[in-house]
Amino acid sequence: MSDLPAASDLPAVSDAPAARSGTVLRGLGVGPGAAAGPAEVMGPPPELPPPRAVADPEAEIARAVRALAAVEAELDRRAAAAPTPEAREILAAQSVMASDPMLAAGVRDRVLRGADAAHALHGAFAEQAQALAAAGGHFAERAADLADLSGRAVAAVLGRPMPGVPSPGHPFVLVADDLSPADTAALDTGTVLALVTERGGPTGHTAILARSLGLPAVVGCAGILAAAVPGEPVAVDGTAGEVRTGVTEREAARVNAREAAAAREAPVPAGPGRTADGRPVDLMVNVGSAADLDGVDLTGVAGVGLFRTEFLFLGRHEQPGPDEQAAAYAKVFEAAGDRTVVVRTLDAGADKPLPFLRLPGEPNPALGVRGLRVARRRPGVLRTQLEAVARAAAGTRARVAVMAPMVSTPAEADEFVALARECGLPAAGVMIEVPAAALRAARILREAEFLSIGTNDLSQYALAADRQSSDVPDLLDPWQPAVLDLVARCAEAGAAAGKSVGVCGEAAADPLLAPVLAGLGVTRLSMAPRALPAVRAALLRRTFAECADLAERVLAADDPAEARELARTQQNGGA
């Protein structure tokens, strides 16, 4: 839930009806909670001026290079100040893209062929974006990122303000076609009441960051750009995935007052995660560095369920040395005290390129060399990381475990576990992101100590739906019964083996879904720290038997909408 503004911060309340008749639009609710306020529509990037003749090509190249440097510096500044590890990772990745030498070479080539700086930048970005869009998959996501970077670079070279989130001077609901990573990561939750985007899906960066920021959000809301009128109130229900335009200011004030009252009246549960009858469900947090634990109340928290290590590697042209890695890992372990810390080994590859890996491009990178598969080409990277983790763990009280991403077969899992043990790390598990691994979970757990399910990729691969596509968001919904079937399969295997099975994907942060996961037999839920209170409260409202009954009925649902409705009905006291 977002921090709602004081009533005095909102525009004056009026009984006057909105100028347009109301419209109810539906999309995917990706950030629970409700909020209402005046809509503000994010503006487009600056238009290109007419081309002009270039008298001094080298001076023009220098202008373009300065613009790229300004964009890179701005992204680095935003990354350093980003409120969440997810935001920091996304912004740092964009900064790397802006500093790509191939991009600079493309700009230089265009200027030497007569283009001015603005058109050279626009053309170079467009060429790269078209190539990536044509490649599809995760490359297509980078095409959208490049379009955003292009607008920023052109604005910089023209001396115009960077495009981005409006700043009307009062709280508002942000409406956009889609949000760039840089825009989403820098949102001020003190003024942005809620997010609504025309495009986007449940696993996109907008959804991930909205949840980590605690903002009510609806994505994939077709028609919102045509229906929303800047300055007129809209009401957003991020739990139901519903947006109403044409509401009066008084209605908007009532929505916010009702939400604020609910937040005040809701009990603030404490203690470890458990159901109403005491069945434990470990609640853990996702982090990218030790800084992400600053100010986080770890009372009742079992530890770090997902320590993403990619941030240390971003933008590096050489692999960080073992001493540097060990020092960075030790900071997280020390911050966690005597709690569990699960380290995910480097999750990179052709779809998430890191310069130092020097991996070639692939026609279908989402299905190529990524995650653990990188060790096939660069085995030394994984060994060095595992040795650094073991060395860092030896000097702290933390109970350190490691897990490998993108494991597909028992043989891969066995090999990883053996290597981890050889490096001095006896607690080794794997992530379940591939349906084949879920189906073979019992066999994988012969050697692996635990499983951790990444629901975003599991949805992508189970439903054959590109997680970056805006056209198939319904297929990427973690409420898809087929995805929950795979989660249940893993949980059953874990129960039989007496080993832990967790969820560290976005589904873990959904308070409506958490009791379902617990009822399926999931024993750990790892999420952004902000999501902990709501998930803890949701578990405490039900006994394990009620969770199990709900899970059984959800598995029998025909689609995500029916599954959600079953959970909502039970939450509201229905049968």
456 is in an annotated binding site: yes
3-state SS class at 175:
strand
Q: Which two tokens stand for residue 126?
A: 């467009």
Catalytic site includes residue 490: no
Q: Which of 473, 570, 508 is nearest to 218 (CA)?
A: 473
Please tell me the distance from the alpha carbon of residue 310 to that of residue 456, in angstroms, as a whole number.
17
* 336 Cβ contact partners less than 8 Å away, ≥ 6 residues apart: 293, 298, 303, 304, 398
Q: Which two tokens stand for residue 450?
A: 């635990």
Cβ–Cβ under 8 Å, residues 515 and 538: yes
Cβ–Cβ under 8 Å, residues 553 and 568: no
Please tell me the distance from the alpha carbon of residue 225 to that of residue 238, in angstroms, as a whole number.
17
3-state SS class at 430:
strand
> Which residue in the list 119, 205, 423, 547 is annotated as catalytic?
205
Catalytic site includes residue 170: no
Please tell me the distance from the alpha carbon of residue 118 to that of residue 150, in angstroms, as a whole number.
9
Render 182-234 in DSSP notation, one character per residue.
HHHHT--TTTEEEEEESS--TTSHHHHHHHHHT--EEES-TTHHHH--TTSEE
Q: Which two tokens stand for residue 61?
A: 């190249």
Beta pairing class for 524-527 and 500-503: parallel
> Which residue in the list 221, 423, 490, 504 is annotated as catalytic?
504
- DSSP code at position 243: E
Cβ–Cβ under 8 Å, residues 553 and 301: no
Cβ–Cβ under 8 Å, residues 61 and 28: no
The CA-based diameter of the chain, rounded to the nearest angstrom, is 78
Q: Which of 283, 318, 321, 320 is nearest to 299 (CA)?
A: 283
Please tell me the distance from the alpha carbon of residue 72 to that of residue 99, in angstroms, as a whole number.
7
Q: Which of 127, 125, 118 is nearest to 150 (CA)?
A: 125
344 is in an annotated binding site: yes
* 107 Cβ contact partners less than 8 Å away, ≥ 6 residues apart: 61, 64, 65, 68, 117, 120, 121, 124
Sequence letter at residue 9? D
457 is in an annotated binding site: yes
Residue 303 CA to its chain's centroid (Å)? 20
433 is in an annotated binding site: yes
256 is in an annotated binding site: no
Please tell me the distance from the alpha carbon of residue 195 to that of residue 241, in angstroms, as a whole number.
11
The helix-helix angle for 57-81 and 137-158 (nearest 10°) equals: 120
Q: Which of 358, 344, 334 is nearest to 310 (CA)?
A: 344
Place of tokens 């740092």: 92
* 59 Cβ contact partners less than 8 Å away, ≥ 6 residues apart: none
For the chain, how many residues are written? 575
Query: What is the dihedral angle through the alpha carbons of 237, 239, 241, 244, rounded to the nearest 10 degrees?
Result: -10
* 8 Cβ contact partners less than 8 Å away, ≥ 6 residues apart: none
Binding residues for Mg(2+): 433, 457
Binding residues: 308, 344, 433, 456-457, 467
Binding residues for phosphoenolpyruvate: 308, 344, 456-457, 467
- Residues annotated as catalytic (active site), given as ranges: 205, 504
